[in-house]
Amino acid sequence: MKLYADLHLRPPLDDAANARSMADVLNGLKTTVVGLVIPPDRLTPTPPAMNSFMDAGLDVAKRLNLAPRSREELLSGLRRFRTKYDVISVNCSSQSVSRVAVRDRRVDIVWFPKHGPDSSFRRKLANTCRAALEFNMSELTQGPSHKARLGRLRREIEIAAEASTSVIGSTNASNPFELRAPRDVAAVLHALGLSLEAALEGVSEIPLGIVKKNRLRTEEPQLEEGVRIVRRSTDDK
């Protein structure tokens, strides 16, 4: 059975009832892994919303959304928080931040606000991008005119596809009514120009791989990138 993920959920962390309702919908949609946005000052104790998701059987990945104003602020945030989170996303609101974020292996996801001249996913960035480019379903209803918004999304997906940049789809939901079925998210990505195979991977294999990679890195911090343990010797036990 195919496993699905939504790596961008931002419910109120103290609203357990809302989180329980979201968890019920997510289970019905066959979403098994979720990324819950948790600010650094709320990591401990475990927020009620996270407990609600876990009690419902969901695999919860702790996500941090960084919104740095400079290259230095981005690097400082990555040094401080990389080991504390399963997923780190960067809001690329300026060219100086974007150039570093797309290349730094500590960044999992990059997101480009759909406003302003310095926050678009360009071909130069795509050619060096190691992170996944995220599209949130909330972007379809927020920002400038609908026609201009769809045109920009199509252009960025085209650029990502040409550069073989990984693309993921998320909801950015804060309540049950904003959630979407993973295949519906994939259908939107496909309608915007992504191949059907890549669109399905963007709600399954790619986001799931991000979480798995970072959890392995936390368990085995001494391993180099691209190296993993296949089998342990009995002498290591």
User: In the prediction, which pLDDT does 31 show?
Assistant: 98
Q: Is residue 15 part of a domain?
A: yes
Q: Is residue 167 part of a domain?
A: yes
How many Å apart are CA 32 and CA 14, to the nearest integer?
22
CA nearest to 170, candidates 201, 134, 213: 134
Q: Is residue 115 part of a domain?
A: yes
3-state secondary structure 147-171: HHHHHHHHHHHHHHHHCCCCEEEEC
Q: Is residue 237 part of a domain?
A: no
Q: Is residue 31 part of a domain?
A: yes
User: In the prediction, which pLDDT does 237 show?
Assistant: 46
Q: How many domains does the structure of the chain reveal?
A: 1
194, 157 Cβ separation under 8 angstroms: yes
How many Å apart are CA 70 and CA 7, to the nearest integer?
25
Q: Is residue 236 part of a domain?
A: no
Token pair of 152 as six digits: 């920009």
Q: Is residue 201 part of a domain?
A: yes
User: In the prediction, which pLDDT does 103 show?
Assistant: 96
User: In the prediction, which pLDDT does 107 show?
Assistant: 98
- In tens digits, the chain (237 residues) has pLDDT values of 789 999 999 999 999 999 999 999 999 999 999 999 999 999 999 999 999 999 999 999 999 999 999 999 999 999 999 999 999 999 999 999 999 999 999 999 999 987 666 668 999 999 999 999 999 998 887 655 777 778 888 999 999 999 999 999 999 999 999 999 999 999 999 999 999 999 999 999 999 999 999 999 888 755 555 555 555 555 554
User: In the prediction, which pLDDT does 140 show?
Assistant: 82
Q: Is residue 230 part of a domain?
A: no
Specify the pTM. Answer: 0.90
- Domain CATH code at residue 37: 3.20.20.140
User: In the prediction, which pLDDT does 128 show?
Assistant: 94
- What range does the domain containing 133 cover? 4-220
